[in-house]
Amino acid sequence: MSAPIVLVANRGEIARRVLRTVRRMGYRSIAVHSEPDAGAPALAEADFIVPLGGVTPAESYLDIEKILAAGRRHASAGSRVLVHPGYGFLSENARFAEAVEAEGWLFLGPTAASITAMGDKTAALVEAREAGVPIIPSHVPDPGSTPDPQELIARAREIGLPLMVKAAAGGGGKGMRIARTEAELPELVSAAAREALGAFGDGRLFLERYLEGARHVEVQLLGDGAGKAIAIGERDCSIQRRHQKLVEESPAPGLMAETRAAMHAAAIALAERVDYRGAGTVEFILASSGEFYFLEMNTRLQVEHPVSELVHGIDLVEAQIRIAEGDADGSPFDLGTLGDLSPRGHAIELRVYAEDPANGFLPSIGQLDLVHWADDPGVRVDAGVVTGQRVTIDYDPMLAKLIAHGADRAEAIDRLRAAIAGSCIAGVETTLAFGRELIGRDDFRRGDVFTTFIAERMPEWQRPEVGAEWRELIIAASRHLRVEAARGPTGGPGTLPTPSETLDGWRHLG
């Protein structure tokens, strides 16, 4: 029998990251790509490359039949085929999980039943309540129902203000609104429903109390699919813009030991209730009083998983593969064989987005004239782009993640700030310089973090001016590296370390 083969049904930095683990394990791999991603560096990491055609996600990474056809094309007779969905796209699509299993392949995620139970926000709240997980005051319509907006407004009065209007079928800040007065509720409900329908094809909403000054803390889980689960620490993801994460760290700073233990226990109880298999995350909102409440469960690997990997000494992608394959005798994978997962030090991550923090974090598109990442001790870079690629409006604007690990939180922050200063992206605006200033603030270093930190503490941030000496350097460097990029992406770091405060987002017109 030939070596197992892993089909990576995704793109960008997560595809590249998964493929590297697959290669280290000695498995073969298949990468897929849309037309705009034909030159992506992730493709160089795979044994086989299958073009999906199409420009948009709907024409490529969301097309289940095209993904399956890519697997059939290179699956040898009798070989074991595994499918890793990454995150986003089809990663939480129960129909995709079922289709993969129908091929006789292994889906590197939970079962379709678990995805269905936890993927719908309203159904997940019901499951969490049954598992004894603390639930924030909320109104959850019956799954499958379409409540009248007037009913939602009436329920909002019962819950009290402020409250959050949220999409039942999705996340990532889509279909989400904060209401602080009753007068604004009708328009907010209508707007949230429209956005949810456009983003997820499902306009259903639910309501929950909004906690001012709260934190976003999540627990990383691994489940064996047979009723056993373990927690691999927690992450603080409170630093957000537009309800989307920007900075994540582990362990959560300042978390009381009893609160940490209770959070882990609640997350495990929920995962075991739904016979969860593989890697997943239970997210909580942590009130300033110390009370915490269930937010949602993400039935996939999270963007921020590297901070947990660095702190706990585990490769979560490898764990996903081992769990899906099970033990040699056919029994569920023994989670106890993963070894000592005790926390070691602290890790912090900055998501590098092609966005303009000085202009409301609006997306920035264009050619990447220069991409260079620092290569410092204790720093990991998960990057999905190289010099010469184009950033388009068709896909998520995240370009990479910079992650630093240190003996303690202060060292991790210092290492991340140095890594940001030694990295450079030119051609589009990014979050590099903003992130460096943010994590260097005294209040952040004290651990004074909450979900509205950016909106309240850095509402009118301005990008530093580019010095004349750096303008000349960047023109020469970008011209040189565009020539190198034309020869084909190497996937390696660049050669010109430069301060991100001066180069981040700068583009020349020559």
Per-residue pLDDT averaged across 424-432, rounded? 95
Per-residue confidence (pLDDT) for residue 490, from 0 to 100: 42
Per-residue confidence (pLDDT) for residue 204, from 0 to 100: 80
Per-residue confidence (pLDDT) for residue 1, from 0 to 100: 60
Beta-strand ranges (E) seen in 204-326 are 205-209, 215-224, 229-241, 244-250, 277-286, 292-298
Per-residue burial over 201-239, b = 16 or more CB atoms within 10 Å of its CB, e = otherwise: ebbbbbbbbbbeebbbbbbbbbbbbeebbbbbbbbbbbb
Beta-strand ranges (E) seen in 373-510 are 379-383, 390-391, 398-406, 424-426
User: Distance (Å, rounded) from C-alpha 285 to C-alpha 291?
Assistant: 8
Task: Residue 445: count other Cβ atoms within 10 Å of its Cβ.
Answer: 14
Per-residue confidence (pLDDT) for residue 388, from 0 to 100: 93
User: Distance (Å, rounded) from C-alpha 270 to C-alpha 292?
Assistant: 15
pTM recorded for the entire structure: 0.86
Per-residue confidence (pLDDT) for residue 234, from 0 to 100: 98
Instruction: Name all domains of the chain by residue range, CATH numbers in brackets.
Output: 5-108 (3.40.50.20), 137-209 (3.30.1490.20), 354-443+460-510 (3.30.470.20)
User: Distance (Å, rounded) from C-alpha 317 to C-alpha 304?
Assistant: 13
**What number of helices (H) and strands (E) belong to the chain?**
16, 23
Residue 208 token pair: 């929950």
Residue 388 token pair: 């010469």
Per-residue confidence (pLDDT) for residue 504, from 0 to 100: 47
**Is residue 479 very low, low, confident or very high in pLDDT (cuts 50, 70, 90)?**
low
What are 245-291's pLDDT values in tens digits? 999 999 999 999 999 999 999 999 999 999 999 999 999 999 988 99
Please determine, for residue 322, whether its predicted confidence score (pLDDT) is greater than 70.
yes
Per-residue burial over 103-117, b = 16 or more CB atoms within 10 Å of its CB, e = otherwise: eebbbbbbbbebbbb
Mean pLDDT (the chain, rounded): 89
Cβ-contact 311, 345 below 8 angstroms: yes
Per-residue confidence (pLDDT) for residue 507, from 0 to 100: 37
Distance from first CA to last CA of the chain, Å, rounded? 56
Per-residue pLDDT averaged across 53-62, rounded? 95
Per-residue confidence (pLDDT) for residue 508, from 0 to 100: 32
Cβ-contact 335, 268 below 8 angstroms: no
Pairing of strands 106-107, 362-363: unpaired
CA-to-CA dists, residue 447 to 215, 262, 366, angstroms: 11, 21, 36
Per-residue confidence (pLDDT) for residue 138, from 0 to 100: 81
Cβ-contact 409, 392 below 8 angstroms: no
Pairing of strands 81-84, 106-107: parallel
Per-residue confidence (pLDDT) for residue 156, from 0 to 100: 86
Per-residue confidence (pLDDT) for residue 268, from 0 to 100: 98
Strand partners, 366: 391
User: Distance (Å, rounded) from C-alpha 7 to C-alpha 366?
Assistant: 30
Please determine, for residue 23, whether its predicted confidence score (pLDDT) is greater than 70.
yes
Highest mean pLDDT among 136-150, 195-209, 447-461: 447-461
| Angle CA 365–306–341, to nearest 5 | 170
Per-residue pLDDT averaged across 403-410, rounded? 98
What are 337-370's pLDDT values in tens digits? 999 999 999 999 999 999 999 999 999 999 999 9
Please determine, for residue 170, whether its predicted confidence score (pLDDT) is greater than 70.
no
Per-residue pLDDT averaged across 38-67, rounded? 96
DSSP per residue, 254-267: T--HHHHHHHHHHH
Per-residue confidence (pLDDT) for residue 358, from 0 to 100: 95
Please determine, for residue 10, whether its predicted confidence score (pLDDT) is greater than 50.
yes
Per-residue confidence (pLDDT) for residue 492, from 0 to 100: 39
3-class secondary structure, 107: strand
What are 212-233's pLDDT values in tens digits? 889 999 999 999 999 999 999 9
Per-residue confidence (pLDDT) for residue 496, from 0 to 100: 35
Per-residue confidence (pLDDT) for residue 502, from 0 to 100: 37
User: 475-484: long-range contacts (C-beta < 8 A, 24 or more apart)?
Assistant: 475/508, 475/510, 477/370, 477/426, 478/369, 478/370, 478/387, 478/426, 478/427, 478/508, 481/369, 481/370, 481/371, 481/387, 481/388, 482/369, 482/387, 482/388, 484/387
Cβ-contact 209, 136 below 8 angstroms: yes
Taking only Cα atoms into account, the Rg of the chain, rounded to an integer number of angstroms, comes to 22
Smallest Cα–Cα separation from 404: which of 390, 418, 424? 418
Strand partners, 28: 5
Smallest Cα–Cα separation from 253: which of 482, 499, 445? 445
Per-residue confidence (pLDDT) for residue 157, from 0 to 100: 86
Strand partners, 268: none
**Percentage of the residues of the chain whose pLDDT score is greater than 70:** 89
Please determine, for residue 464, whether its predicted confidence score (pLDDT) is greater than 90.
no
Smallest Cα–Cα separation from 121: which of 109, 135, 104, 132? 135
Per-residue confidence (pLDDT) for residue 505, from 0 to 100: 43
